[in-house]
Amino acid sequence: MKKRFNKLAGALICIAFAAFMLFLKDKVDVIWSMLCTFASILTPFIYAFAIAYIVNFPYRFFRTKVFGKIDNRFMKKVNKPLSLVLAYLIFLAIIAVIIALVIPQIAENISKFVDNVPSYIKSFRKTTTEFTNWAQDKYNIDTGLIKEINDTVIKQINNLGKSLANYDNITKIISYLTSTIFFLFNWFMAFIISIYMLVSKEYLCMQVKRFCTAFLPTKWMPTLYEIVNVSDDKCGKYLVGKILDSVIYGLLCFIGMVIFDLPYAPLVSVIVGVFNIIPFFGPFLGAVVGSILLLLDSPNACLIFVIISVVLQQLDGNFISPKIVGNQVGLIGFWSLFSVLVGGAMFGVVGMILGTPIFAAIYTLIGRKVNKRVAMKGENAERVLSMSVINKSSIMNVKAKPKISISSIKADLMKDSSDSSDDSDGENSETED
pLDDT reading at 307 higher than 90:
yes
Enumerate residues 6+ apart whose C-beta is below 8 A from 234: 328, 329, 330, 357, 358, 360, 361, 364
Of the ranges 13-17, 226-230, 326-330, which one carries the lowest mean pLDDT score?
326-330
- Is the same domain home to 179 and 110? yes
Segments forming the whole domain that contains residue 55: 42-115+170-215
Task: Please name the amino acid found at residue 2.
Answer: K
Enter the pTM of the model.
0.64
Of the ranges 89-103, 188-202, 247-261, 406-420, which one carries the lowest mean pLDDT score?
406-420
- For 11-42, the DSSP string reads HHHHHHHHHHHHHHHTTHHHHHHHHHHHHHHT
- Is the same domain home to 97 and 174? yes
- Is the same domain home to 76 and 48? yes
Q: Which long-range contacts (CB under 8 A, 24 or more apart) does 331-336 make?
A: 331/356, 331/359, 331/360, 331/363, 335/359, 335/363, 336/279, 336/280
Q: Specify if 241 maps to a domain.
A: no
- Is the same domain home to 60 and 203? yes
- Is the same domain home to 1 and 19? yes
Report the alpha-carbon distance of residue 162 to residue 154 in Å, rounded. Answer: 12
| Phi-psi region at 279: left, alpha or beta (left = phi > 0; alpha = psi -120 to 50) | beta
Q: How many domains does the structure of the chain reveal?
A: 2
- Is the same domain home to 35 and 183? no
pLDDT reading at 78 higher than 90:
no
CB 62 within 8 A of CB 83: yes
- Is the same domain home to 107 and 200? yes
- Is the same domain home to 107 and 54? yes
Which pLDDT tens digit goes with each residue over 105-158? 777 777 777 777 677 767 767 777 777 777 667 666 655 666 666 667 666 666
Q: Specify if 401 maps to a domain.
A: no
- The pLDDT assigned to 305 comes to 92
Q: Specify if 226 maps to a domain.
A: no
Question: Which of residues 425 and 378 earns the better pLDDT score?
Answer: 378
pLDDT reading at 219 higher than 50:
yes
pLDDT reading at 28 higher than 90:
no
Mean pLDDT (whole number) for 319-328: 72
- For 103-165, the DSSP string reads HHHHHHHHHHHHHTHHHHHHHHHHHHHHHHHHHHHHH----HHHHHHHHHHHHHHHHHHHHHH
Report the alpha-carbon distance of residue 290 to residue 264 in Å, rounded. Answer: 9
- The pLDDT assigned to 35 comes to 74
How far is C-alpha 108 from the geometric centre of its chain's CA atoms?
32
- The pLDDT assigned to 399 comes to 47
% of the chain with per-residue pLDDT over 70: 71
- Is the same domain home to 3 and 92? no
Residue 293 exposed, middle or buried by CB count within 10 Å (0-12, 13-18, 19+):
buried
Q: Between the ranges 66-75, 232-241, 369-378, where is the mean pLDDT highest?
A: 369-378
Mean pLDDT for all residues in the chain? 76
Q: Specify if 227 maps to a domain.
A: no
pLDDT reading at 229 higher than 70:
yes
- The pLDDT assigned to 401 comes to 47
